[in-house]
Amino acid sequence: MLPCKKNDPLTSQPWYQDYRRFVQLKGLRERSVKTYLGWVAQLAEHHPDEKLPNLSSRQVLDFLLHLQADRKLAGSTLNQAVCALRTFYRDHLGKRWKIWAKIKIQREEPLPHVLSRGEVSKLLGTFHDGRYRAYFTVVYQCGLRMSEALHIRPKDIDSERYILRVTHTKGGKIREVPISPALIARLRRYWMWHQNPDWLFPGPGRGWKSSGISLRQALHDSRHPMTKASVWTAIKISKYESGLMKQHEKICIHTLRHSYATHMLEAGTSVRQVAAYLGHTTLKPTMVYLHLTEVSEAKARAALTTLPGV
C-alpha cells in the first residue's frame, strides 16, 4: 500500500509531514513507512472534508468498522490499519483513546505448506541451471527467505565454523545459521565458476544474451544479485517439471523454508534453536511447525508408555 502521490494536497499538510518524520524516526523499514502513510491517506479519503488530527475517536472507529464489515478485509490487513492509525493518534498525537480494544480482529492462520524430504529432493533435482540449483538448495538447507538468499555475499560464509551470516534480514537483525560442509563445497564450486566479487548469486541482467558475452562473464561483471522475478519463474517451472503440482498446488519459494523448519524439528532440533535459525523474535511462529512434524505424535505415544501409574 502506497501513500498519496506527491502532488496530492494531503502530502503537503504539515501534520502529514510531521507523521512521516515520526514513523521514519521510529526506525521502521521503508515498506512499513509507506504502509502506515497509506492508511492515513485512506482515512483522509474517507473523511475528505476534515483534517485528520481533528477527527474524533468515533470517526476513526467507524472507519475501522467500515474496513472490517463493508470492505471485509483480511485480519492481517485490518491489523495493519489499526497499527498505523494507533501510531498516528496515540503515539504521535498523544490521544489516549480506548477504541483500539473495541475492534476484534480474527486472523486466519492456516498451517504452512510443507514437502517431505523426498519431494524436496525431487524439486531440487529439476533445476538444470547450476545457479538455481545452488540458490534453492541454500534456501532449503539454511531456512532462508527469498531476499535473504539473494543477498548473500561470498564473505558471509564462514567455512571454518560452518556458519552462514544472514545480513539482509526482514527485521534488520543479522543472524547466523549452520551450513553443511557439502553445501559449502557446492557453493565454492559455483562461485569459482563466476567469481563475482560482490554476490554469491549475481544476476546476468536482461541484455546479456545480445551483448555477445558468455553467461559466466555476465555473472562475473554483474553489480546486482539475481532478481526476484527470475527466482519466481524458476520455482514456477520446477513445480511443473517435478510432477509435484497435482499434490502441491501451493508450492512457492517459502515452501522450502517451511519444509526446513519442519524437518529440523523432526530431526530433534529444539524449537528455540529453530526459531533462532529462522530469525523469529518469539517462539510462537515456530511452534506452528510442531503440528506438521511426522514424528511428534509417535514420540508422544511412546512417551506415554514410560509414565508411571499404569
In a domain, 263, yes or no: no
Q: Grid coordinates 486472523 are at which residue?
A: 107
In a domain, 2, yes or no: no
Write down the pLDDT at residue 301. Answer: 59
Write down the pLDDT at residue 239. Answer: 87
In a domain, 224, yes or no: yes
Q: How many domains in the chain?
A: 2
Write down the pLDDT at residue 103. Answer: 72
Write down the pLDDT at residue 98. Answer: 84
Write down the pLDDT at residue 297. Answer: 55
**CATH number of the domain residue 97 falls in:** 1.10.150.130
Q: Where are the alpha helices (DSSP H) in the chain?
A: 14-25, 30-46, 57-65, 75-86, 117-124, 130-142, 146-150, 181-194, 215-221, 228-241, 253-266, 271-278, 284-287, 296-304
Cell, residue 54:
481533528
Alpha carbon distance 162, 181 (integer Å): 7
Alpha carbon distance 234, 136 (integer Å): 10
Domain boundary residue, one of 253, 282, 298: 253
Write down the pLDDT at residue 3. Answer: 43
Write down the pLDDT at residue 5. Answer: 43
Interacting residues of 237 by C-beta distance below 8 A, sequence separation 6+: 126
Low-confidence ranges of the chain (pLDDT < 50): 1-7, 310
Give the DSSP letter of residue 225.
B
The helix/strand/coil state of 278 is helix
Q: Within this chain, do residues 177 and 234 fall inside the same structural domain, yes or no?
A: yes
**CATH number of the domain residue 199 falls in:** 1.10.443.10
The helix/strand/coil state of 69 is helix
- Whole-model pTM: value is 0.67
Q: Within this chain, do residues 121 and 249 fall inside the same structural domain, yes or no?
A: yes
Write down the pLDDT at residue 6. Answer: 43
Give the DSSP letter of residue 15.
H
Q: Within this chain, do residues 155 and 94 fall inside the same structural domain, yes or no?
A: no
For the CA atoms of 57, 58, 61, 62, the dihedral, rounded to the nearest 10 degrees, stands at -150
Q: Within this chain, do residues 209 and 159 fall inside the same structural domain, yes or no?
A: yes
